[in-house]
Chains A and B, each alone.
Chain A
Amino acid sequence: AQRVTQPEKLLSVFKGAPVELKCNYSYSGSPELFWYVQYSRQRLQLLLRHISRESIKGFTADLNKGETSFHLKKPFAQEEDSAMYYCALSGRPGGTSYGKLTFGQGTILTVHP
């Protein structure tokens, strides 16, 4: 069965501090991993996906297949980063579970001034 675990429900940091949101997954095969973000009063939106290997808003995430992790990192947190962050996985394109997202429970990030 596929599963996504985000061990921290709440994470607080000060502005300018590094931040790491943890995500571990279990999946038989090669999944596609995502981070979604939900800012206050806004809809859920894609932040980044592992196949893109890009940095969005200063955030990066590296897929570690050995540790089955996909942690989200930012070297210098900003107040506007305060939001709910969800890690999610899907099967690879063309597979039967492709596009169907399995989400973690989410981590609320608060960046203090």
Chain B
Amino acid sequence: DTGVSQDPRHKITKRGQNVTFRCDPISEHNRLYWYRQTLGQGPEFLTYFQNEAQLEKSRLLSNRFSAERPKGSFSTLEIQRTEQGDSAMYLCASSFDWDRGSTEAFFGQGTRLTVV
């Protein structure tokens, strides 16, 4: 599968623990996005990178959340001191930038986080 891959697919953690998720985008894509999806809702934008630069962060992204994309390849999303409200599906997507032609966003299968 040469699409966007996310690891792990599922994560159960105790409240207060730190968790880190990884996203490997399609290799030629220079844009990478993180979204969060809770039950019954559509995905909500969290942050995005153009190459290694983090260009925008949503107000949803509290200071317990941090994302990185070293070297403009894979990305990690870390949540510190998890809370039960952090339980959600975390989706990663990648695309070309608008000047590279098709800008279709390709999504990964997501990481489902459960905080107990």
Known: A43-B3, A99-B31. A93 touches B103 (CB 8 A): yes
**Interchain CB contact under 8 A, A102 and B107:** no
- List residues of A whose CB falls within 8 A of some B CB: 4, 9, 43-46, 49, 86, 88, 93-94, 96, 98-106
Q: Residues of B contacting A4 with CB < 8 Å?
A: 42
Q: Residues of A contacting B105 with CB < 8 Å?
A: 46, 99, 101
Interface residue B95 (Cβ < 8 Å from any Cβ of A):
yes
Q: What would 23 A/B residue contacts be, using CB atoms closer than 8 Å?
A: A9-B40, A43-B107, A43-B109, A43-B110, A44-B43, A46-B105, A49-B104, A86-B43, A88-B42, A93-B98, A99-B31, A99-B48, A99-B103, A99-B105, A100-B48, A101-B45, A101-B105, A103-B42, A103-B43, A103-B44, A104-B42, A105-B40, A106-B41
Minimum C-beta distance from A48 to chain B (A): 11
